[in-house]
Amino acid sequence: MTALVRSELLKLRTLRSTGFVLLGLLGIVGITLIASISEAEASNTPAELRDPLLLIGYVTALFLVAMAANASAGEFRHRTISQRFLCNPARGRVLVAKMVTYAVAGAIVAVAMVGLAIAVSDPVLVSKDLSLGLGGIELARMAGGVVIGAVVFAILGVVVGMVSRNPTTAVVAIFGLLLAELLIGSLIGGPTNYFPFALLQSVLGLTDHTPWGLAALILAAVTVASVVAAWRLFLWRDVT
């Protein structure tokens, strides 16, 4: 398993798409911080000032799920998955290694992005006599939401990539689901609070439609069910 994780990390480090994702995230972090800091006023509450940081966590999760799906599906498109399965015929172990790799890397990236945003915005807001209100409980709550969201969506990205076996199909499916969720939510409201992207918002604290603990539990259940379904129904298909 260690060798499999190391090979996944090597692939992740050498893919050009990884660098593009990180550059894109840094760009979004910069734009979000500039906009939020410039609009910060004395009337803003600490919770309102934290919203841009939570939005960065949300966008990071979107980038991670797309990156994991693209990289996992890319192995099928470029036929390198055949070599991987020949080296390690235990396909379940390969799937676990991918999930572990992207979950850990995703958590690190998400915490780094939000941490960078806090480090940059907090001194500027203090100079304006404003505060993010990040005491021990609030900071732990934010960090927990960011890590859970990143880990869950990175794993889901791996599953989508392994099932679709085509990078374009995987990415279109992810953002198609997001668009469908938004459209359905505008029509029927309540039930969509339990859809994946709405649950992510609740876990991060962007919305309070679902208690964050319940939202995290449901997301975890959805992830486990998706992994089991992928392993039993799709992982054993012929790759040629």
62 in a structural domain? yes
169: in domain: yes
CA distance 77 to 170: 12
Comparing 184 with 237, the larger pLDDT belongs to 184
Q: What is the tens place of the pLDDT at every residue in 66-115?
A: 989 988 888 878 777 777 776 777 777 888 888 899 999 989 998 888 88
Report the percent of the chain where pLDDT is more than 90: 14
Q: How many residues does the chain have?
A: 240
pLDDT given at position 240: 62
- Residue 136: strand, helix, or coil: helix
Proportion of the chain above pLDDT 70, given as a percent: 96
Report the candidate in 47, 55, 46, 48 with the shortest Cα–Cα distance to residue 126.
Answer: 46
Assess if residue 210 is contained within a domain: yes
Q: What is the structure's pLDDT at 43?
A: 64
Inside any domain, residue 214: yes
For residues 213 and 135, what is the distance between their CA atoms, to the nearest angstrom? 20
Q: Find the radius of gyration of the CA atoms of the chain.
A: 19
Of 207, 174, 216, the residue nearest 189 (C-alpha): 207
Range of the domain at 103: 2-234
Contact (Cβ atoms closer than 8 angstroms) between residue 57 and residue 149: yes
pLDDT digits (tens, 9 = 90+) for 152-186: 999 999 999 888 888 899 889 888 888 888 888 77
Per-residue pLDDT, averaged over 53-77, amounts to: 88
In a domain, 240, yes or no: no
pLDDT exceeds cutoff 90 at 5: no
* pLDDT computed for residue 156 by the predictor: 93
Domain total in the chain: 1
Q: What is the pLDDT of residue 154?
A: 93
pLDDT at 238 over 80: no
Task: For residue 210, give both structure tokens.
Answer: 């679902």
* Residue 25 maps to a domain: yes
User: Taking Cα atoms as reference points, which of 23, 40, 33 lies closest to residue 56?
Assistant: 33
pTM summary value? 0.88
The residue type found at 42 is A
How confident is the model at residue 221, as a pLDDT? 93
* Amino acid identity for residue 106 in this structure: G
Whether residue 34 is contained in a domain is answered as yes
Q: pLDDT category, 42, cuts 50, 70, 90?
A: low
